[in-house]
Chains A and B, each alone.
Chain A
Amino acid sequence: MTSNAERPKGTRVRVVPGGPVLVEGPVEVVLDDGSTVTSDRFLVALCACRRSRAFPFCDTSHRRRVRSGAPDDKERPAAD
């Protein structure tokens, strides 16, 4: 393991509790059926909960879902 200040000795991976696994990109992911998908983002979020509709990449489907009484969906700049 490296501290923040050191240069990483290998590909840096971060496991987000309850969320995706973050891997420095670009990556080629081999799927169960032997096919591959690639991503050339600087950081790739790999789905760890298997709920993503963009599997093997995270689409935030791991988020806790709540019933009403919860805050309304905020209209946000739906992209940034």
Chain B
Amino acid sequence: MIQINNLWKRYGDTSVLERINAEVKEGEFITLVGTSGCGKSTFLKLLLGTEQQSQGELLLDGKPIPAEPDRHRGIVFQQYSVFPHLSVLKNVMAARAFAEGRISALLLGRRRREARAEAEALLESVGLSHVLESYPHQLSGGMRQRLAIAQALVLKPRILLLDEPFGALDPGIRGDMHELILNLWHQQQLTVFMVTHDLKEGFYLGTRLWVFDKIRHDPQAPQAFGATITYDIPVGRTERKIYEEIDNQLRPVAAV
């Protein structure tokens, strides 16, 4: 589905990503790990369309991926991805309203009732049916992320991008969220890209793990070379030794 050929991303003189080659099939769940500033979030932005590559190709079904966000690629950020001025229910209905309303985001009559029923069903599946009328600021961090996930899935995108979605949550709540996201991935046959700084999360959740790291270093100009994919591992058949190797590599950051 997605084909990446010799992809580079530079900001001025600073290289962030270099020589990335990969192929992703429909339905894969890829977790992206790496030290902070290694470009994994930048890679996600390229997939999302808010940033464009400097060189190389990023193809979706053989065509260049659209250069601005659209409804086929859902996103959940670590924070700020729900609308604070709308209730939980309206946040989810907004997706339908945007997609169907022509000029304004208003839905009326039958279409409004349908959107409401759809939103209620989706919110039920993420366990938020008891807070339909609450505003986001009244929710806990975990509930807000559930809402963001529900909102991202209303329009049934093919690709779901997750940018450290559980980074700010307590470990106990993270477990619940992992279960939720795995269920939704199975049900909706999504292709998922998830950035995380938690290596365990990366191994537990994905079908495939990418590690981003710099392999070339110039001590005179640390910004001259970008990161690339140093490990591309099908998860589930991982040897203990490789896990430890990557874990050691990331440890200084994970401890921060």
Q: Do A and B come from one complex?
A: no
